[in-house]
Amino acid sequence: MNQIDAEIIAIGSELLVGGRSDSNSLFLADELGKIGIAVRFKSVVGDERQDIVTAIHTAVKRAHVIIMTGGLGPTVDDCTREAVAYATGHRLGRRKDALAGMTTRLAQWGRTPSTAQLRQALIPSGATVLKNPVGSAPGFCLTWKKTLIVSLPGVPREMEEMMRQEVLPVLRAASESSGRPQRAPIVRQVFHTFGLPEADIDAKLKGLIPSRAPVDLGLLASPMGVLVSLTTKANQFAPEKNRDLLQKLADDVRSRLGDWLFAEGRETMEEIVGRELIKRRLMLAVAESCTGGLIGHRLTQVAGSSAYVDRGAVCYSNRAKTEMLGVSAELIAQKGAVSMEVAAAMARGIRERANVSVGLSVTGIAGPGGGTETKPVGLVYVGLDDGTDQPIAREFRFHGDRNVIKQRSSQAALDLLRRWLLSKAVK
């Protein structure tokens, strides 16, 4: 191997039993790619010392850099320090700089280190202590068998800041002094779509990547839509060539996907909708049934959302739809609470009561029970009312468990709002 390759080891039994997903590895791969270091392997290991040792011994045979996350806390199952020490033959010892950093941080929170927390100051001999600018657990790095081993906390915010401030400068210096050919940065461009299944997105992008082009196309389906990625391969081509090719392909992706493409990079649907509402100086009110407040939660997660979100109402029962929104009991009895007509009436009701520019509603059957042959689980209606004689109502049929259907319903409602906003001229 001529260039620097990396392996990520995510540590934590909760990552193996479904308690939590590993989002840290995505961040690490992006940051490493920016300095031309390709992640070739990733391992997920539980909180067992010997398993971590085995993972280290395997990784050191095939990677120049190992980034480990997790297992640096004060509890008995946090054994990454011990595993690294045992695997590399470096004795654990309490380090003054690690203890000082941890003590200072805890003092800022009005706390003193407990006996268990003092374990966090134990660092393998010969290792460099990595400061934690936002948390109490220090990290460390050491070189063993010509491989740089970096150990970071598993808490995403702490890991991200330590990676940026402490680790990347070390890696840049190591890359420059290695004598290995320097790679162009690995650049990843991400596009977010909603409304088309993965197979249809794949068909639209067929033939996008020219033969032997140093770019990989990726598709990833989720309840929020299909993510499309373009990633430059690790190579020694000039960065300018990679950048120009990626830009050309990105323009082609935008052209092929059209209105199905709602965001790029790290932007979310709720951020896009908020920006468009602000541009048009519109206020929004939301009436939710099957989503139970999820749409309102997502919208108000965005800083500054008070500029365009007036209110939200969770109208779960038929009585609530009638009392809070003015939906007639006769309409519900005739068409059913889950119907296009009731969705439109809900949107109109919340808009009129809030006296705002636009009302958005959702009603459906999230399951697992409550469905019938004519109205199955996953049937969802979204309504939008802007005070004109042309209210909008759309039908959707989603699959998945209750949580997935709620997520997809919220995304469908926001996407309908997005499309409606884009059809309106900016004031």
Whether residue 144 is found in the same domain as residue 219: no
Decide which of 264, 296, 325 is a domain's last residue: 264
Q: Is residue 427 part of a domain?
A: no
Q: Is residue 170 part of a domain?
A: yes
- What pLDDT band is residue 26 in, cutting at 50, 70 and 90? confident
Q: Is residue 182 part of a domain?
A: no
For the stretch 388-412, pLDDT in tens is: 988 999 999 999 999 999 999 999 9
Whether residue 225 is found in the same domain as residue 368: no
CATH of the domain at 323: 3.90.950.20
**List of residues 6+ apart from 213 with CB closer than 8 A:** 245, 249
CATH of the domain at 13: 3.40.980.10
Q: Give dist(CA 263, CA 365) in Å, integer.
A: 28
Whether residue 206 is found in the same domain as residue 292: no
Whether residue 254 is found in the same domain as residue 275: no
Whether residue 239 is found in the same domain as residue 275: no
**List of residues 6+ apart from 306 with CB closer than 8 A:** none
Query: How far does Cα 131 stand from its chain's mean position?
Result: 26
Report helix angle 80-88 to 49-59, nearest 10. Answer: 50
For the stretch 274-283, pLDDT in tens is: 999 999 999 9
Whether residue 216 is found in the same domain as residue 361: no
Q: Per-residue pLDDT averaged across 18-47, rounded?
A: 87
Decide which of 211, 244, 264 is a domain's last residue: 264
Q: Phi first, then psi: give them for residue 221, nearest 5 degrees.
A: -90, 145
CATH of the domain at 243: 3.30.70.2860
Q: Is residue 297 part of a domain?
A: yes
Q: Is residue 183 part of a domain?
A: no
Whether residue 139 is found in the same domain as residue 243: no
Contact 214/245 with Cβ under 8 angstroms?
yes
Average pLDDT, the chain: 93
Whether residue 166 is found in the same domain as residue 227: no
Give the Å distances, CA to CA, from 413 to 83, 271, 346, 408: 48, 14, 13, 9
Question: Does 1 score more than 50 pLDDT?
Answer: no
Whether residue 260 is found in the same domain as residue 276: no
Question: Does 130 score more than 90 pLDDT?
Answer: yes
Question: Does 346 score more than 70 pLDDT?
Answer: yes
- What pLDDT band is residue 426 in, cutting at 50, 70 and 90? confident
Contact 278/307 with Cβ under 8 angstroms?
yes
**List of residues 6+ apart from 169 with CB closer than 8 A:** none
- Rg of the chain, C-alpha, whole Å: 26
- What pLDDT band is residue 424 in, cutting at 50, 70 and 90? confident
Question: Does 39 score more than 50 pLDDT?
Answer: yes
Whether residue 226 is found in the same domain as residue 303: no
Decide which of 149, 177, 205 is a domain's last residue: 177
Whether residue 209 is found in the same domain as residue 327: no
User: Of all residues in the chain, what percent carry a pLDDT higher than 70?
Assistant: 95
- What pLDDT band is residue 19 in, cutting at 50, 70 and 90? low
Q: List the domain range (segments joined by +) for residue 326.
A: 269-422
- Copy the structure tokens of residue 357: 């520019």
Question: Does 377 score more than 70 pLDDT?
Answer: yes
- What pLDDT band is residue 183 in, cutting at 50, 70 and 90? low
- What pLDDT band is residue 38 in, cutting at 50, 70 and 90? confident
- What pLDDT band is residue 243 in, cutting at 50, 70 and 90? confident
Question: Does 324 score more than 60 pLDDT?
Answer: yes
- Copy the structure tokens of residue 84: 């690294």
**List of residues 6+ apart from 300 with CB closer than 8 A:** 309
Whether residue 249 is found in the same domain as residue 382: no
The count of domains in the chain is 3
Question: Does 188 score more than 90 pLDDT?
Answer: no
Q: Give dist(CA 66, CA 71) in Å, integer.
A: 15
Question: Does 234 score more than 70 pLDDT?
Answer: no
